[in-house]
Structure 1
C-alpha cells in the first residue's frame, strides 16, 4: 500500500495542535462574554410638542436615538426632542454595550402642539407658515447654482436669460402645509425643462406627458416633508422631502450624486442655507436650500414666497 506522507504528517500535526490547545489555560483572564444587552427607555411628555427620552437599560451603554417619521437622530442617555405636533411617534433606541449591540422601538405620545412652531422665526414656520405657503424659484440670476460648497456657483449658475429660457422651471410651485402630516404639493404647471436628459432630451421646455418610466415619478404630485431645527451646515435646519420623486430644483440632484434616469431614494434631504424675511420690504421671503451631491459638490436653489 502506498502512503501519502504529506497527508499523514498534516494529520499528526493537527492532532498535536488540538492537544496543545486543550492543555493550555490563560491564567488571570476572564474570557466570559457578557449577555446581549436588553435596551429599554422611558419617555416623559413635556408638553408643547416636546418629549424627554431616558435610557433605562440595566447595563452601561452608549445610546443612539432615531425618530422614524422625521429621521431625527440624538445621542446620549437623556435627550429632549421637539416633535412639534401632538400624536404618536415611533422612536428607536440603539445601544452598544459590552455584550454587543441591540435596539428597541416604542411608540411615544405627544399631548399637544408646539404653540410657537409656525412663527416665521422658526424654520418650519418660515417654510410652511401657519396654514400653507407657496414658493417658486426666485426669478433672478443665480436661482440655480452648482459648485464646490453650499451656495457656491463656481461650476455653473443660472443667468438672467434663464428666467425666460427655463420658464417651465420658474413657473413650478412648491406648497408646504403646516400640519402633522407635513403635506408637500409639487405642481409643474404641465411642463418641464428637459435639460438634455428629461423626456425627449431636448434643451428646452417639454409637456409633462413626455415624462415616462422612472422619470414619471418627477411629475406633479403630493408628498410629505419634515423640517428639523439646528441641523445642517449652517445650523439653520434641514428640509427632508419624503416620497420617491419629491424634489426642488434640478431633478437629478440627490444626496450623494446625480441620476438622470429617475429618482433613486425615497427622500431628498436639503440643508437650509439662508432664510430672509420680507426682502427689502417687498413683501416676499427668500429661502435658499442646498443638497450635497457627493464630496464638495453642492446644488443650491433660491426660492421666493408667493
Structure 2
C-alpha cells in the first residue's frame, strides 16, 4: 500500500478545505470499500480525511415529515432504527441483506452510496478497465460477465453498482444532500449516478470535492407497503445477481401508487418507471405484474452469459408485488 497522510476532521468546513488541496485526497468513512481498494492498488490517495467525527451522524425527522439519515450514520443504526423499520421496511431489509454485522457496524450511509463496483477486472490493476484506467478497454465484454449489466451498459463498461441500500433509496425517491466550499446542494438519488456512456470513470454527478452530508427520505413513502428481495449466488453475504425494492399502495383492489427499483442489472440502481406507469390505476393481479415486468425488461441487452438476469428480474418483480398486494388485502 502506498504511504498516505491522515487527518481527522472535526468540522465540515475543515474536511472540505483539506480535500480541495488535491485530486488524490479522499474522505474516509467506515473504510469498508476504500481501504480494500487501497490494499490492492486500485486507489492510492496521498491523504485521507477522516470524517467519522463530523457532526453528521444520527436520524431525525424534518419539519416536512421527511426522515433525514446523517451521512456518517452506520448501516447498522439505520437498519435498526424504529422509524426506518416502520416507515421504510424495504430500506431496513436491503441493508440487512447487504453485508455482515461487522461490516454494517462500520459502513456509513454516505460511503455506501459511493462504493465502487465489484467487477473483478476493475479490482485487478493488472487488467485493463475503463473505469479505473480510462481508454484501456473493458475486458468483461468478452470475458467473465455473467453477473454484469443487462440494462444501460455501453461498450466502455458493463459493470453493475454494488449497493443494496441505494436500490431501496431509489424506490423511495430519496434525496442526497451535500456540502461544498461554495455552499450546499442536493440531488435526487436517481440523478446521483451518471449514465455509463464513454466515461464510466465519471461515476457521480456530485460537484468536485463535494461531501455528502445526509440522505432525505420523503414522507410520501410512509403510506406504502414495501419489501426488498435479493437473489445472490450463495446464501452467505454476496452481491446481488438481481434485487428488487418495491412499494405498493392499494385502494379497493386498485393500485394507487407503486415504486419499483432494481439492483444488479445496471451501473446504477434502476428505477423501473415503465412498469410503474403501466401499473398505476390498474387492478392488482399477478398477470398484470408479469406483463409490466416484461415490458420494463424488454429494453434489456443481455451479454453472452447473463441473459438469465432478464427472466430472473421479471419473476422477482412479479413475486414481490404479488406478495405486497396480498399483504394489503383485508
Q: Which has the higher helix share?
A: 2
TM-score (norm. length: structure 2):
0.24
Q: Which has the higher strand share?
A: 1
TM-score (norm. length: structure 1):
0.26
Name which one, 1 or 2, has greater alpha-carbon Rg. 1
